[in-house]
Chains A and B, each alone.
Chain A
Amino acid sequence: MRQARFELQHGATWEALRGLLERLERGVGDGPVEAAELPGLYRAVCGHYSLALERHYSRGLTEQLHQLVQRGHRLLYARRSGGLRRLADVLVRGFPVTLRRHARWFWLATALFYLPALAAGVWTYHSPDAVYSLLDPASVAELEQAYDPANRVAGRPPGRDAATDFSMFGFYIWNNVAIDFRTFATGIFFGIGTVVILLYNGVVIGGVAGHITAIGHVETFWPFVSGHAPFELTAVAVSGTAGLLLGLALLAPGNLPRRQALVAAAREAAVLIGGAVVLSIGAALIEAFWSSSAAPATVKYAVSAALWVLLALYLVGSGRGRRASR
């Protein structure tokens, strides 16, 4: 068949598809009734495009048909995002379920963080100058001063008010969530980056904790950190899990080619990092607005214990049962 006859025969179909695409792309039109015409029209034009290519019709015609096909494909196969409701569902149910699915790597990430932390803490507790191998003297002095009981007036650190709390909140968000992101992202280097960050953070945090305890600032330091510790430390472990998943996909892809294994692992890891971000934000809120408040130490420890229990219940229990998600 010649091109002119082909265009005469099918031109009306192409015009119909073009009009339908324009209306659907702009979001006007009759909604489902009109949208139901799309698959049939789209498939017909796909067939015409194939024929046009096969019969070597002119480039002008084939490119025009290609554009129609491309727009139709975009509309027909675009994934519909579930909106905020789905986001809430992912956080409440999807995140714990995904975490439990990769529980081994969660425990590995936890171990990579806590074991060096414990070791460093014991080390700095027993040797007074050990902390200077981890941090420079200026930072150590700053930390010692921040937790010095002599600096507190009526239980509140000097000069701290609501505005300072907010600025600290901003700082914690900017600093801690970024660390979580980097822990995750560097997992693509075969997991090495994640491991390094977990070890490094564990050693520094543990070392500082040991040193502050050794010099005696216990009643200021431990109540302060107890509030946000459950969320913050768990967020670090979860980000580490996400990073380890990426590295594992490259190191041990199983039956899949490495690329596909990576994409599949990244989908799971994205859910985990979303949960980690929420935990980190919670930790930042607690650290900024609660941890430095004037409540007595017993209250703070009680709150901390309660938060640990709640977090454990959420991670272990949410998403099970009749309404368990995928």
Chain B
Amino acid sequence: MAVDTLVEVETPEGIGLQLRAAGPVARAYAWVIDFAIRLVVMFLVLIPIGWLGELGVGIVLLVYFGLEWLYPLLFEALRGATPGKRALGLAVVHENGTPVGWTAATVRNLLRAADFFPVGYGVGLLWCLFHPRHQRLGDLAAGTLVVYREPASERVAMPRRAPRPLPVPLGDAEQQALLGFAERSQALAPERARELAELLRPLHHAEGDAAVEALLGYANQVAGR
């Protein structure tokens, strides 16, 4: 049974793109932030309204309508995420991984009225919680997903060492584990690196830093340097 939230999308080139769906908690936090922003805007609009009398009432109602229905739609269609979602690193995409368009953004935001049942987004939160890809009713009808943006990360190069031949032939997964250790060794605390390296004592028969060096040598051998 798969318990992670990875959604694999097959592209026309046959590649499996991996998107990480966002759960109801993150989305609820994003909604709270958006709500706070809207509250602040409403408050700022209300302050000068006293001077405008009836005209002000009309403006307030229009602003309230816009904040309730148009604010999420415009942000999602134009920039992919409302400020609240952006603050949590979320983005709205189509089910094929492309950024959300106007039709889908309209549908998913108008269906908030349905997700809101019976009170406080009850239906939406529950559906999002139990759905394998964390879609609420609006997402289902619009064919969208709320995913975590992948942060652009710099590649950390493997530290170079003299290649050391492997004492025994290792399978693909094991070789990959060695490469993974080498790439992450600089980010690990030295004690942790030593601890991990000593787990493979039957392989290299060394201790402490010598064990780490041994594994780095093996990794460079696997990489073919």
Cβ 8 A contact of B113, one of A60, A185, A262? A185
CA distance A58 to B13 in the complex (A): 22
A35 interface contact, C-beta 8 A: no
Q: Are the C-beta atoms of A174 and B55 separated by less than 8 Å?
A: no
A102 interface contact, C-beta 8 A: no
Given A166-B54, A181-B110, A67:B152 Cβ within 8 A: yes
Residue numbers of A with Cβ under 8 A of B are 1-5, 42-43, 46, 49-50, 55-61, 63-64, 66-67, 69-70, 73-74, 77-79, 81, 161, 163-164, 166-171, 173-174, 177-178, 181-182, 184-186, 188-189, 193, 246, 259, 262-263, 266-267, 269-270, 273-274
B61 interface contact, C-beta 8 A: yes
Q: Are the C-beta atoms of A185 and B156 separated by less than 8 Å?
A: no
Q: A310: shortest Cβ distance to chain B, in Å?
A: 26
Q: Are the C-beta atoms of B60 and A170 separated by less than 8 Å?
A: yes
**Which residues from 43 to 68 on chain B have a C-beta closer than 8 Å to any C-beta of chain A?**
53-62, 64-65, 68
Interface size of B as a range: 35 or more
Q: Are the C-beta atoms of A73 and B98 separated by less than 8 Å?
A: yes
Q: Give per-residue flags for B48-90: 1 if the beta carbon is below 8 A from chain A beta carbons, else 0.
A: 0000011111111110110011000000010000000000000
CA distance A171 to B57 in the complex (A): 8
Residues of A contacting B112 in the complex (Cβ-Cβ under 8 angstroms): 185
| Nearest 3 interchain pairs by C-beta | A2-B224, A170-B61, A170-B58
Cβ 8 A contact of B57, one of A50, A167, A274? A167
Residues of A contacting B77 in the complex (Cβ-Cβ under 8 angstroms): 81
Cβ 8 A contact of A58, one of B142, B153, B176? B176
B15 interface contact, C-beta 8 A: yes
Residues of B contacting A79 in the complex (Cβ-Cβ under 8 angstroms): 98, 101
Cβ 8 A contact of A177, one of B65, B150, B183? B65
Given A70-B97, A73-B97, A267-B107, A181:B54 Cβ within 8 A: no
B159 interface contact, C-beta 8 A: no
CA distance A45 to B77 in the complex (A): 29
Q: Can you list 13 A-B contacts with CB-CB less than 8 angstroms, sorted by A residue number?
A: A3-B223, A50-B15, A58-B180, A60-B183, A63-B153, A73-B98, A78-B99, A166-B54, A166-B55, A167-B55, A184-B110, A188-B141, A266-B107
CA distance A50 to B141 in the complex (A): 32
> What is the chain B residue whose CB lies nearest that of A166?
B58
Cβ 8 A contact of B114, one of A61, A161, A188? A188
> What is the chain A residue whose CB lies nearest that of B116?
A185
B205 interface contact, C-beta 8 A: no
Cβ 8 A contact of B61, one of A78, A173, A186, A274? A173
Residues of B contacting A188 in the complex (Cβ-Cβ under 8 angstroms): 111, 114, 137, 141
Q: A282: shortest Cβ distance to chain B, in Å?
A: 15
Residues of A contacting B172 in the complex (Cβ-Cβ under 8 angstroms): 55-56
Q: Are the C-beta atoms of B225 and A174 separated by less than 8 Å?
A: no
B102 interface contact, C-beta 8 A: yes
CA distance A102 to B176 in the complex (A): 57
Q: Are the C-beta atoms of A270 and B54 separated by less than 8 Å?
A: no
Cβ 8 A contact of A189, one of B62, B101, B114, B142? B114
CA distance A188 to B115 in the complex (A): 10
Cβ 8 A contact of B223, one of A46, A58, A69, A193? A58
Q: Are the C-beta atoms of B58 and A259 separated by less than 8 Å?
A: no
Residues of A contacting B59 in the complex (Cβ-Cβ under 8 angstroms): 166, 170
Q: Are the C-beta atoms of A3 and B111 separated by less than 8 Å?
A: no
Residues of B contacting A186 in the complex (Cβ-Cβ under 8 angstroms): 113-114
> What is the chain A residue whose CB lies nearest that of B19?
A70
B140 interface contact, C-beta 8 A: yes
CA distance A169 to B61 in the complex (A): 9
CA distance A61 to B224 in the complex (A): 14
Q: A49-B15, A58-B179, A60-B180 are in contact. List 12 more A-B contacts (CB 8 A).
A: A3-B179, A5-B224, A46-B15, A58-B176, A69-B15, A164-B54, A178-B65, A185-B112, A186-B114, A188-B137, A263-B143, A267-B103
**Which residues from 139 to 156 on chain B have a C-beta closer than 8 Å to any C-beta of chain A?**
140-143, 150, 152-153, 155-156
> What is the chain B residue whose CB lies nearest that of A242?
B110
